[in-house]
Amino acid sequence: MLFKALSAAVSGIDANLIDVEVDYSGAVTDKDIFHTVGLPDAAVRESRDRVRAAIKNSGYTIPPTFITINLAPADLKKEGSGFDLPIALGILGAYGALRVSDVSNFSLWVSLGLMAVCDRFRVCCRWRFWPAKRRYRI
């Protein structure tokens, strides 16, 4: 079954919309085999381990099978760990753990820890305002 979620790839100060499509084959294997396609970098490829642990620690069990993750458009480089949540949701949605079948009005950009707790990102735009109560020194 196929499930699609939306995410974004940030390069510099530009962002591009990314479709995260997850499909699984019904064939039962002795361990789950992930294929991530669509120019993922090492952080995106590593997300399979975070996602597997996060899903398990959220109380879901997924039977081991072939899971294909496509990050479209395929010619754009995907960097960072923001694809963890769309991949996790795609897997859960493909297995039918979600009650919704269409999440196309949500954009997701969340990194997951092993305990399924969302990690924070470093701030990519360092725009700060001075605090209002500060006394400025000449």
Partner 1 sequence: MLPVAILAREKKIPNLILPAANAAEAAVVEGVNVFPVSSLTDVIDLLNSSLLGVVHREPFRVDTQQLLGELQHFLVALLRCALSRLRSARLKLPLRVGTTF
* Between 13 and 42, CB nearer to partner 1: 13
Shortest distance, CB of residue 60 to partner 1, whole angstroms?
9
By residue count, the chain amounts to: 138
* Sheet with 65-72: strands ordered across: 2-11, 14-28, 65-72, 33-37
Shortest distance, CB of residue 84 to partner 1, whole angstroms?
9
Report how far residue 124's alpha carbon sits from residue 129's, in angstroms, rounded to the nearest whole number. Answer: 15
* Between 26 and 59, CB nearer to partner 1: 59
DSSP secondary-structure letter at 60?
Answer: -
The contact set with partner 1 (CB under 8 A) reads 6, 8, 10, 13-17, 54-55, 58-59, 85, 88-89, 92, 97-100, 103-112, 115-121, 123-125, 129-132, 135-138
* Between 29 and 121, CB nearer to partner 1: 121
Beta-strand pair 2-11/111-112: unpaired
